[in-house]
Amino acid sequence: MSRVDEILSWYDSDAPGVQRNLRWILESGKLAGTGKLVLLPVDQGFEHGPTSSFGPNPAAYDPHYHFRLAIDAGCSAYAAPLGSLQAGAREFAGQIPTILKLNSSDSLFSGDDPKPAVTGSVSEALRLGCAAVGFTIYPGSAARNEMYAELREIAEQARAVGLAVVGWSYPQGSALSSAGETALDIVAYAAQIAAQLGAHIIKVKPPSAHIERADALAVFEEQSVPIDTLEDRVRHVVQSAFNGRRIVIFSGGATKSSEEVLSEITSLAAGGAFGSILGRNTFQRPRDEAIALLDAVMQTYRRAA
Amino acid sequence: MSRVDEILSWYDSDAPGVQRNLRWILESGKLAGTGKLVLLPVDQGFEHGPTSSFGPNPAAYDPHYHFRLAIDAGCSAYAAPLGSLQAGAREFAGQIPTILKLNSSDSLFSGDDPKPAVTGSVSEALRLGCAAVGFTIYPGSAARNEMYAELREIAEQARAVGLAVVGWSYPQGSALSSAGETALDIVAYAAQIAAQLGAHIIKVKPPSAHIERADALAVFEEQSVPIDTLEDRVRHVVQSAFNGRRIVIFSGGATKSSEEVLSEITSLAAGGAFGSILGRNTFQRPRDEAIALLDAVMQTYRRAA
Amino acid sequence: MSRVDEILSWYDSDAPGVQRNLRWILESGKLAGTGKLVLLPVDQGFEHGPTSSFGPNPAAYDPHYHFRLAIDAGCSAYAAPLGSLQAGAREFAGQIPTILKLNSSDSLFSGDDPKPAVTGSVSEALRLGCAAVGFTIYPGSAARNEMYAELREIAEQARAVGLAVVGWSYPQGSALSSAGETALDIVAYAAQIAAQLGAHIIKVKPPSAHIERADALAVFEEQSVPIDTLEDRVRHVVQSAFNGRRIVIFSGGATKSSEEVLSEITSLAAGGAFGSILGRNTFQRPRDEAIALLDAVMQTYRRAA
Amino acid sequence: MSRVDEILSWYDSDAPGVQRNLRWILESGKLAGTGKLVLLPVDQGFEHGPTSSFGPNPAAYDPHYHFRLAIDAGCSAYAAPLGSLQAGAREFAGQIPTILKLNSSDSLFSGDDPKPAVTGSVSEALRLGCAAVGFTIYPGSAARNEMYAELREIAEQARAVGLAVVGWSYPQGSALSSAGETALDIVAYAAQIAAQLGAHIIKVKPPSAHIERADALAVFEEQSVPIDTLEDRVRHVVQSAFNGRRIVIFSGGATKSSEEVLSEITSLAAGGAFGSILGRNTFQRPRDEAIALLDAVMQTYRRAA
Amino acid sequence: MSRVDEILSWYDSDAPGVQRNLRWILESGKLAGTGKLVLLPVDQGFEHGPTSSFGPNPAAYDPHYHFRLAIDAGCSAYAAPLGSLQAGAREFAGQIPTILKLNSSDSLFSGDDPKPAVTGSVSEALRLGCAAVGFTIYPGSAARNEMYAELREIAEQARAVGLAVVGWSYPQGSALSSAGETALDIVAYAAQIAAQLGAHIIKVKPPSAHIERADALAVFEEQSVPIDTLEDRVRHVVQSAFNGRRIVIFSGGATKSSEEVLSEITSLAAGGAFGSILGRNTFQRPRDEAIALLDAVMQTYRRAA
């Protein structure tokens, strides 16, 4: 059994249409067939504003730029909100799997307990020929339950029409300290919640060595769970998503040097990450640099496959 | 390829019905075929009250006055809430493209976080023979997410029946300073949000030189983005709406002298604005003056086409 | 063209069924054919309680009393909530146009920001043979947007089945001073809002000489709009409802002497009011007195027609 | 009142959206504003087969050819079944009013009592940006009642969303002699039936001098109705469609010489026909000839306007 | 523009989802990217019975056999009824584009006027992860209109969710002679009908030199259309499907020798066929022979691309 078939076997309660679309993602781009994946997400125009997102590389103001970048770099899929996807859906129809983000937050209003607006629908994803829908939840927010319920319902709708579901699970809210947002135990918990809500692919942030909750700390110590290195911690997060039976990928976060990106990816890959989702670290670089960096990232994952 | 065909090609993920209606707008009035447009919006009776809106030119109390003004001045379309449109929809059926505003705020209640009432529907727009529906969002308001979700759903309904969608995107709310409402970075962000939610035509206010957010300021400085003149700033706003792949038009704001209006329009046109939407600056003037001013505005845009 | 035909021509975007029902009202009772109308509304049992509403004239506890009164007095229509209408709908079917009030407030709970309960439906109005539905909005209330959206949706439903819509537009809520509730500019604004939401007949309170908003005051002064007499002020309110293209009628308010009522009616009629809607001032009087007063009111309007 | 406004006034029980679309047709092409119209219909590929329809002018195999021909010749609208319209709907969106034929017959099966298949829908017409839907009925067929019921339902759906309805009314079936299919009384009857079923525009064949039914013959004789010339007969058909209150247009039939076409058109125009719908006589000719012939036809109608 | 992009441009009135699925087919298998396609259809178990269909090669009783054959031979897609597809949909999910046949005829009942049973749905196609739905019509059957209406409705549903539509158009019925079923004019007509009903891909039988209808014969003679060779005739059929703007493929028919198959394919390819759909000629052969034959067929098409 190929690695892709093995991964798809974890989703065997879902309809074949879901597996067709998961396979599309797993068989696209330079990592096709490896069971690893690297996604290009471009929701930063909505999340952080166009100026700070695209200003560093003005070609990126154009939605076609990102489709082209994702295709040329050999990404496994391209994820974006409705407007961006729609601006290139016909031109690039079927050239790369697309993921329609169904909710988004903007930065013009912020509170302690974030909740994104619903900005897309499953029927739009079908119309636009997407492979999957994406949805963000903020465990730790006072508004978490509404988000969980929304994700669950969207996941049910998506599965019924054969679309895969990608869950962005980012702990944040009044219940968490700032360090807690990336604490190992919390990131692991966030991955578990997304898995429970029906996400097929789960996106989390790389976990720090901070432990937010005493009960988790006690277990790590009692069981002598290694958590010192990022590789160790990634292993725990992947384990927390159904013992590796769900595809868990890691976000790249704010812009940093290529060395930093690759160093982190090396640890993620070593820890068993299924891949990465890199936005600002790619499209805010000049195109050639971005493609070179993505190629190095993909080679790293390929070696770990 | 004509300029109108080029503009329509940006909306190629939409059904032909949407393009028929966008073409109707782009091929109507004195700017027909130029790719520029000037709209007459009359929602001020609802937004600011009849007395202060129509008192300065009492003929404007009559809804027919505005249809006639828009037609005689050669506007590209006329936008109004349900009642106003309905009052002339039969008399002027098909004589000018109409845009049904689907939400409106009145001024009898105000809070820090505005949210308009839903006051129309897509099916009413079909019944009344409209070319498009309009919807206002207030980025920066605590109620933004409800507005975003409403606009998204309306846009999906409208596209399904071939209507175009015009988004009024006016940053306002407890998260923004008063200066921030027209700050360049915020107006650019507002244009991006409307584009992401599926608006085909985006209406924003002319941006001031104020920069509200530190991250945007840093980008402007690092990238040496010119922002000193209105022309510069308009260019950034248009760029922020999918690098010019969306029609972005600018509101005229409160009544001012004809010289001030034309001076502003000259800058807007030079910066690449697709057009203007002028309400109080037209219907609060005597009819002859209004038509003369609109003609001068249109000539300005025509020269820039 | 008769006056009734002229009035109906203002509603020419509506289906013929709506015009049938408007004509029924305009051709009923003693004012038939004049373009003026006097309605009997009896929603006070719900709004103020039975004891204070009907105690002064115990015959009025009986719903049939009001049907009979409206018919015998030659009223243009009779308006009431579901229960009252239903109690006489068969007995008096087709004898007088009826208006089903679709929302009502009771006085057992009150807050700064009133919102009525929805207490009827368009389908009930059809079942009961009504000519129209009625709906109350409170501009100035924090709950205004929900009411506006409800009225809009009800108006769409009503138009689709050929029923006319009567909007009770009573400014009230935490955003308004007590004097502001009947301020000229506010009443004019309330009439405009109801017109925009699709009401065919608009009911407001007689406006006082108070001006609530500075922007309106400035316009009155700049334009030298006469506002000293009730007649002047009524003229402005009618103008504010699409320059007289909507039927605007005025409520009678709390019980007062016949002289006071007639004096007020004389001013309303002189100012161009389309009619009155008189509840407590009629049914709280002995029947003969009520009929005499209504006759005098109708004669006043007839003279102004 | 312009002639177009006069014509639209006949449809004043319909919603403004219907009138918008009727106006679009009446204000398009070389006959814009005259109240006359010439349509290009291309359903012969379905009705008679591609070989015999397009073989005489092979360029006509291409659906774009017909869009271009209709536009370049200045036709008022272009009518075709779903596939043909869809093949050019985006390319030519909004450049000419289109009419989606919602039913079609093929010639591979024929019986005494024809009934077309339903091959389109009102929602497709909206999606494709059409001005109208078209529907064929065969009065005289044993299957007439199903067709009448289908047309009625489609007309109701179309009106609700603001689309106009074009009725092809072609008497045919076991109840009629071959001569009866174009008999004056039968064509007049067919026009009446289409009008009764809600068609806004009615297409019939030019009537012959044959009279099929004795009762009609008796009336023509008793009332001395002139029926000798085609002009006389057309006058009777137009009269039979609500005394001229419905737009009645005449088909061109099988290919004939330009002289024959123009001679017939001259009679049609003299008799008060609102226009013609010419298919095989245009697209089976070389393009230049077709445009020249259509121009002569339009000039004939223009002179009669 | 690549050949695939050129082909997709013919379907530009459809949503991007349709184009994604058409591209999937056009980019799969050994003919990926050539604009040519070879499909494996296995509906013979239903159409002709298992014994006569699968008996010659008993391995073919197993539905997995056909998935595997289609994949290993490098077919562009695999088409089958619900049961067959469902039997392998998970195992082979996403490995090859699948087409769900939505109607099928069995051979246990036959009449002069065939009509297949509806045996699948668009929602099943989504659930199973299909690229397209397939539907058979029998022009010439007394039941044709029901089939046309069914195909039309299925095509509307499919387009709305981004699925492509494959039309099997097989003239058959009491209105046609046996020779007429494959007569050139009739096959061309059948292709036209499928195109008009909204099929994206049209499957017909190779046309014989017989001409069924006098009107077509007259045109062939008058226009000197070459029809002597299969290549000539295929050219006419492709022309009849919107002048080549629709993908037309040809069935292989009953089992014959490899030489006969390849000879026919050579003519089809020379005449501009977009490809073939070969069932009995492949799965009734031993697997190795079938793969070798399919390879030769694909090479033939590749040389013609």
How many other C-beta atoms can be found within 10 angstroms of the C-beta atom of residue B80?
31
Per the residue annotation, which of A30, A203, A205, A256 is the catalytic one?
A: A203
Q: Which of B49, B2, B52 is nearest to B27 (CA)?
A: B2
D172 contacts D216 by C-beta, under 8 angstroms: no
Q: Do residue A58 and residue B239 have CB atoms under 8 angstroms apart?
A: yes
Q: What is the pLDDT of residues B172-220, one digit of tens each?
A: 999 899 999 999 999 999 999 999 999 999 999 999 999 999 999 999 9
Q: What is the pLDDT of residues D53-95, one digit of tens each?
A: 999 999 999 999 999 999 999 999 999 999 999 999 999 999 9
Cβ of B62 under 8 Å from any chain C Cβ? yes
Residues in chain C where the model's pLDDT stays below 70: none
Whether B137 shows a pLDDT value over 90: the answer reads: yes
The pLDDT mean for chain E works out to 96
Counting one residue from chain B and one from chain C, the pairs whose CB atoms sit within 8 A come to: 135
- Token reading at C200: 């065919």
Q: In whole angstroms, how large is the CA radius of gyration of chain C?
A: 18
- Token reading at B264: 């502003």
Whether E253 shows a pLDDT value over 90: the answer reads: no
Q: Do residue B13 and residue E12 have CB atoms under 8 angstroms apart?
A: no
The pLDDT mean for chain C works out to 96
B139 contacts B181 by C-beta, under 8 angstroms: no
C242 contacts B63 by C-beta, under 8 angstroms: yes
Residue with token string 């409307």: B194
β-pair partners for E203: E168, E249
Give the three-state DSSP class for D117. Answer: strand
Interface of B with A in 193-252 (CB under 8 A): 193, 195-199, 213, 215-216, 218-220, 222-223, 225, 236, 239-240, 242-243, 245
C30 in active site: no
Cβ of B22 under 8 Å from any chain D Cβ? yes
- Token reading at D139: 């009065």
Chain A CB contacts of B186 under 8 Å are 108
Q: What is the band of B38 on the pLDDT scale with cuts at 50, 70, 90? A: very high
Q: What is the band of B147 on the pLDDT scale with cuts at 50, 70, 90? A: very high
Whether A258 shows a pLDDT value over 90: the answer reads: yes
Mean pLDDT, residues E235-263: 95
E60 contacts E99 by C-beta, under 8 angstroms: no
- Token reading at B3: 């300029």
Lowest-confidence segment of A251-255, D241-245, D255-259, E288-292 by average pLDDT: A251-255
Give the three-state DSSP class for B285. Answer: coil
Q: How far is CA A164 from the centre of its chain?
A: 13
Q: Do residue B15 and residue E15 have CB atoms under 8 angstroms apart?
A: yes
CB-nearest to B223 from A50, A56, A63 is A56
Q: Do residue D15 and residue C16 have CB atoms under 8 angstroms apart?
A: no
C202 contacts C246 by C-beta, under 8 angstroms: yes
Shortest Cα distance, chain A CAs vs residue B102, angstroms: 18
Residue with token string 């719900």: C46
Mean pLDDT, residues B80-106: 97
Cβ of B156 under 8 Å from any chain E Cβ? no
Mean pLDDT, residues B97-109: 96
Q: Please give the Cα distance from C21 to C128 (Å, whole number).
A: 14
Mean pLDDT, residues A259-270: 97
The residue type of E173 is G
Cβ of B170 under 8 Å from any chain D Cβ? no
Mean pLDDT, residues D139-160: 96
**Cα angle E86, E91, E96; round to 5:** 85
- ipTM score for this prediction: 0.94
Cα D223 to Cα D217, D219, D220, D227, distances in angstroms: 10, 6, 5, 11
- H/E segment holding residue D123: helix D122-127
Q: Kindly tell me the burial class for residue E217, based on how many C-beta atoms sit within 10 Å of its own C-beta (0-12, 13-18, 19 or more).
A: middle
Chain A CB contacts of E94 under 8 Å are 19-24, 27
Q: Please give the Cα distance from B99 to B131 (Å, whole number).
A: 6
CB-nearest to D83 from E146, E171, E196 is E196
Instruction: Indicate which of D127, D130, D156, D157 best probes the interface with B, i.e. most B CBs within 10 Å of its own CB.
Output: D127
For chain E, list the contacting chains (3+ Cβ pairs, <8 Å). Answer: A, B, D
Whether E111 shows a pLDDT value over 90: the answer reads: no
Chain A CB contacts of B190 under 8 Å are 108
Q: Is the pTM of this model over 0.80?
A: yes
pLDDT of residue A147: 96
pLDDT of residue D286: 97
Q: What is the band of E255 on the pLDDT scale with cuts at 50, 70, 90? A: confident
Cβ of B260 under 8 Å from any chain C Cβ? no
Q: Measured on CA atoms in the order A21, A25, A26, A27, is the torsion positive or negative?
A: positive
The residue type of D59 is A
Give the three-state DSSP class for D173. Answer: coil
Helices and strands in chain C, H and E counts: 14, 10
Shortest Cα distance, chain A CAs vs residue B21, angstroms: 18
A67 contacts A46 by C-beta, under 8 angstroms: no
Helices and strands in chain A, H and E counts: 14, 10
pLDDT of residue A297: 98
- HSE-up of residue A288 (Cα within 13 Å, Cβ side): 0
Whether A253 shows a pLDDT value over 80: the answer reads: no
- HSE-up of residue D297 (Cα within 13 Å, Cβ side): 36
Shortest Cα distance, chain B CAs vs residue A293, angstroms: 22
Q: Please give the Cα distance from C44 to E80 (Å, whole number).
A: 69
Give the three-state DSSP class for B247. Answer: strand
Q: What is the pLDDT of residues E30-57, one digit of tens each?
A: 999 999 999 999 999 999 999 999 999 9
Q: Please give the Cα distance from D205 to D220 (Å, whole number).
A: 20
Shortest Cα distance, chain E CAs vs residue A159, angstroms: 8
Q: Measured on CA atoms in the order C5, C10, C15, C21, is the torsion positive or negative?
A: negative
Q: What is the pLDDT of residues A12-56, one digit of tens each?
A: 999 999 999 999 999 999 999 999 999 999 999 999 999 999 999
Mean pLDDT, residues B4-21: 97
Give the three-state DSSP class for A204. Answer: strand
Cβ of B27 under 8 Å from any chain D Cβ? yes
Q: Please give the Cα distance from A194 to D247 (Å, whole number).
A: 62
Question: Any alpha helices (H) in chain E, and if so which ranges?
Answer: 3-9, 16-26, 44-47, 50-54, 63-73, 82-88, 122-127, 144-160, 184-196, 214-222, 230-240, 258-270, 280-283, 287-304
Q: What is the pLDDT of residues E138-178, one digit of tens each?
A: 999 999 999 999 999 999 999 999 999 999 999 999 989 99
Per the residue annotation, which of D36, D101, D115, D203 is the catalytic one?
A: D203
- H/E segment holding residue D66: helix D63-73
Q: Do residue D94 and residue B21 have CB atoms under 8 angstroms apart?
A: yes
List, as own/partner pairs, every contact residues A143-152 make where C-beta atoms lie below 8 angstroms and the sequence separation is at least 24, other chains included: A143/A113, A143/A114, A143/A115, A143/A173, A144/A173, A146/A115, A147/A103, A147/A115, A147/A116, A148/A193, A148/A197, A150/A103, A150/A118, A151/A194, A151/A197, A151/A198, A151/A199, A152/A197, A152/A198
Q: Using the 8-state DSSP alphabet, how is residue A117 labeled? A: E
Q: What is the band of E109 on the pLDDT scale with cuts at 50, 70, 90? A: confident
Question: Any alpha helices (H) in A128-213, and if so which ranges?
Answer: 144-160, 184-196
Q: Please give the Cα distance from E216 to E169 (Å, whole number).
A: 19
pLDDT of residue C254: 80
For chain A, list the contacting chains (3+ Cβ pairs, <8 Å). Answer: B, E
Mean pLDDT, residues E221-233: 96
Q: Please give the Cα distance from D153 to D147 (Å, whole number).
A: 10
Whether B254 shows a pLDDT value over 90: the answer reads: no
pLDDT of residue C253: 77
D160 contacts B127 by C-beta, under 8 angstroms: yes
Q: Do residue A124 and residue B225 have CB atoms under 8 angstroms apart?
A: no
Q: Kindly tell me the burial class for residue C142, based on how many C-beta atoms sit within 10 Å of its own C-beta (0-12, 13-18, 19 or more).
A: middle
Q: Which of E2, E16, B19 is nearest to A89 (CA)?
A: E16
Mean pLDDT, residues E11-25: 97
A20 contacts B156 by C-beta, under 8 angstroms: no
Counting one residue from chain B and one from chain D, the pairs whose CB atoms sit within 8 A come to: 87
Chain E CB contacts of B13 under 8 Å are 15-16
Lowest-confidence segment of B29-33, C113-117, D5-9, E93-97 by average pLDDT: C113-117
C84 contacts C112 by C-beta, under 8 angstroms: no
E183 contacts E211 by C-beta, under 8 angstroms: yes
**Cα angle E211, E215, E220; round to 5:** 60
Lowest-confidence segment of A140-144, B271-275, D252-256, E134-138 by average pLDDT: D252-256
In percent, the amount of chain A with pLDDT more than 90 equals: 96
- Token reading at D191: 């026009």
Chain A CB contacts of E15 under 8 Å are 127-129
Mean pLDDT, residues E244-266: 94
Cβ of D15 under 8 Å from any chain B Cβ? yes
Q: What is the pLDDT of residues B45-82, one digit of tens each?
A: 999 999 999 999 999 999 999 999 999 999 999 999 99
For chain B, list the contacting chains (3+ Cβ pairs, <8 Å). Answer: A, C, D, E
Minimum CA–CA partner of A18 in chain E: E129
| Chain length of chain A | 305
Cβ of C15 under 8 Å from any chain D Cβ? yes
Shortest Cα distance, chain B CAs vs residue D78, angstroms: 14
pLDDT of residue A45: 95
* DSSP class per residue in B188-233: HHHHHHHHHTT-SEEEEPPPBS----HHHHHHHHHTT---SSHHHH
